[in-house]
Amino acid sequence: MLTCVRQYLQQGLCLTCLLCVSGTLFFSASAQTRSVPAPGESIFRVFVRAAPSGLITSTLAQEDNQWILRATNQITAPLDLQTQLFEMTYDSEWRPRHLRISGTRNRELFNIESTFGGDIVTNDVQIGSEATTTEERIDAASIVLPNFFFAAYEALAIRLTMLQPGDQVPIYVAPRGYITARLNSVNTLQLDTADGNLLATVYHITFDNPNDPISAEVWVDERSRLMRVTLPSASIDVARQDILAVSTRVASPPHPGDETIRVGAAGFSLAGTLTKPVNVPSPTNGRWPTILLVPDSVSSDRDVTFSGIPIFRQLSDALVENGFMVMRFDKRGVGQSGGRPESATLEDYADDVRELVRYLERRPDVDRERIILVGYSDGGWVSLVAARRENKIKAVALIATAGISGNELVLEQQATLLTSAGNSNIERQENIALQQQVNRAVLNEGSWEGISEAVRAQANTPWFRSMLAFEPESAIERVRQPLLVLQGELDRQTLPYHAERLENIANRRTRAGATVEVSTLPGIDHHLKTSTNGNNSEYLSLSSQGISPTVSTKLADWIKRTLPE
């Protein structure tokens, strides 16, 4: 029975690449100054691969000289997890005292109760009709983070405010074991909102998983309350509702050539930044070759900020120095752009890009014969659809873009995540089979039988359906513009073979000028930085290292050769 319950927990509550447990390690409590958080309620939204996947309502209260976290939790991907009760109690020194969780996982009832006494924890676990009790030693100062119960990160946020880079935090992954979290670096971000400015302190940490360290960002506000948790390798983002408002964006130091723009779209406006060269001689006709950067589906701002580094902002600055005017923008429903992303399809995003291209084409300082799209990740797919429909686009560059269908890509990326998490072959097969069933149902090629209503509601969306149905082969065959494919050699999210596949498809085009060029970038990972192996454990080095200049150099060289003055 014990083995069965533990196996269930491993499959259900540690489904993909979240926190696994290591061997016996003990740590002393930190002597840092305690932070006093502000009590109150917070509402969080959960996103998996940029798709809405859950809702969390949490409350932090101080009662009888104890801190109590209470929450309700509804997660629909990558598993169906509904929580009626989550209650975690810490003492006044933020040492764990008691944990209670009850809810359903794939419609099966479970209850977890953990009682902490110094360095001993007793766990009573019931899954359906099976129950077990275990006891183990832990660090008395542990922060308790059960997998997929993201309200628990409120306590981690508070602990992080007491630490310095290099410090470690003992983590108990109830009810299974413990790991450590290492604080790598800290930076601050200013968020501009309709109600004023918010200051976020961003803690870049690594969970020292035995199989593959997991990088994360934890955003904390000035009240020592959790704002955001991002787990890049799992494509999971948990954000407080107030920072998801349309009017909110991360503020960044302006470039002297920056111009804030708003462009009308389908009943709303798209917000962006257009940057003009200032240290480069102006073209004789006063018209600049202009690049429109098209973001991926995961990005939450026009700068495509990842682990503290604004990837598009850095790419824009480098291209501007090469003599290009560059626009980057907030996708619909993101940052300061209007619109409703939950009802948008890949084709809708392509229409937004076309509106921006038409805006650029009307400007007197834009060279109409040299308007170029640069699509990043699945932003490359959006770029292909836009270019197929819009002859004002003169060339398209694809960076880290997949060459297989959306359906195949989802399954490929899930298999990669499950393998990196150390799941068994049986576990991988079961989860991939479930994803295949969901995909077929979304595409109206199969049944929803056996899949919960919550999972169906989250998966059966216009965006996910359009993404699954997208076929790069069909799109490229109808694109007449020159193509550039840039692929990082160490990209672990869009594997290098995709570049060759895109090249083969593009070479079948017979129209004049429909050329293709492919460049594989040695030592470059998915986020355009120099890497040693491209693994998840290196992601947080982005906080101290910008994107590789090779990317902008390759882009600029190709554009100047392909679209000369």
- CATH number, domain with residue 485: 3.40.50.1820
3-state secondary structure of 215: strand
Residues 317 and 288 in one domain: yes
What's the average model confidence in pLDDT over 162-167? 94
Has residue 29 been placed in a domain? Answer: yes
Has residue 72 been placed in a domain? Answer: yes
Give the residue, 117 or 425, on which the prediction is more confident.
117
pLDDT digits (tens, 9 = 90+) for 90-113: 999 999 999 999 988 777 899 999
Give the residue, 510 or 32, on which the prediction is more confident.
510
Has residue 439 been placed in a domain? Answer: yes
Confidence at residue 26, expressed as pLDDT on a 0 to 100 scale: 36
Q: How confident is the model at residue 246 (pLDDT cuts 50, 70, 90)?
A: low
Residues 381 and 496 in one domain: yes
Has residue 97 been placed in a domain? Answer: yes
Confidence at residue 409, expressed as pLDDT on a 0 to 100 scale: 94
Question: Strand locations in 382-448, DSSP E?
Answer: 395-399
Q: How confident is the model at residue 482 (pLDDT cuts 50, 70, 90)?
A: very high
Lowest mean pLDDT among 2-11, 118-127, 210-219, 354-363: 2-11
Has residue 82 been placed in a domain? Answer: yes
What's the average model confidence in pLDDT over 15-28? 40
Confidence at residue 146, expressed as pLDDT on a 0 to 100 scale: 92
Confidence at residue 16, expressed as pLDDT on a 0 to 100 scale: 34
Has residue 92 been placed in a domain? Answer: yes
pLDDT digits (tens, 9 = 90+) for 296-345: 988 778 998 776 678 999 999 999 999 999 999 999 988 889 988 878 99
Asked whether 91 and 97 are in contact (CB, 8 A), the reply is: yes
For the chain, the domain total comes to 3
Out of 198, 224, 244, pick the residue that ends a domain: 244
Asked whether 178 and 22 are in contact (CB, 8 A), the reply is: yes
Confidence at residue 247, expressed as pLDDT on a 0 to 100 scale: 55
Query: Rounded to whole angstroms, how far apart are CA atoms 431 and 450?
Result: 14
Residues 60 and 161 in one domain: yes
pLDDT at 19 over 80: no
Asked whether 490 and 533 are in contact (CB, 8 A), the reply is: yes
Residues 426 and 305 in one domain: no
Query: Rounded to whole angstroms, how far apart are CA atoms 443 and 440?
Result: 5
Which pTM does this prediction carry? Answer: 0.76
Residues 450 and 513 in one domain: no
Residues 238 and 270 in one domain: no
Out of 222, 244, 266, pick the residue that ends a domain: 244
3-state secondary structure of 336: coil
Average pLDDT, the chain: 87
Bond before 256 cis per omega within 30 degrees: no
Lowest mean pLDDT among 114-118, 205-209, 346-350, 508-512: 205-209
Maximum Cα–Cα distance for the chain, whole Å? 79
Residues 367 and 423 in one domain: no
Give the residue, 135 or 23, on which the prediction is more confident.
135
Residues 437 and 493 in one domain: no
Q: How confident is the model at residue 30 (pLDDT cuts 50, 70, 90)?
A: very low
Residues 46 and 180 in one domain: yes
Residues 112 and 204 in one domain: yes
Selection from 121-135, 247-261, 522-536 with the highest mean pLDDT: 121-135
User: Could you tell me which residues come within 8 angstroms of residue 18 by beta carbon, excluding any fewer than 6 positions away?
Assistant: 147, 148, 214, 231, 234, 236, 421
Bond before 78 cis per omega within 30 degrees: yes
Query: Rounded to whole angstroms, how far apart are CA atoms 263 and 316?
Result: 19
**By residue range, what is the domain housing residue 503?**
253-405+470-562
Out of 244, 265, 285, pick the residue that ends a domain: 244
Residues 325 and 261 in one domain: yes
The 10 Å Cβ neighbour count of residue 215 is 23
Residues 501 and 523 in one domain: yes
Has residue 464 been placed in a domain? Answer: no
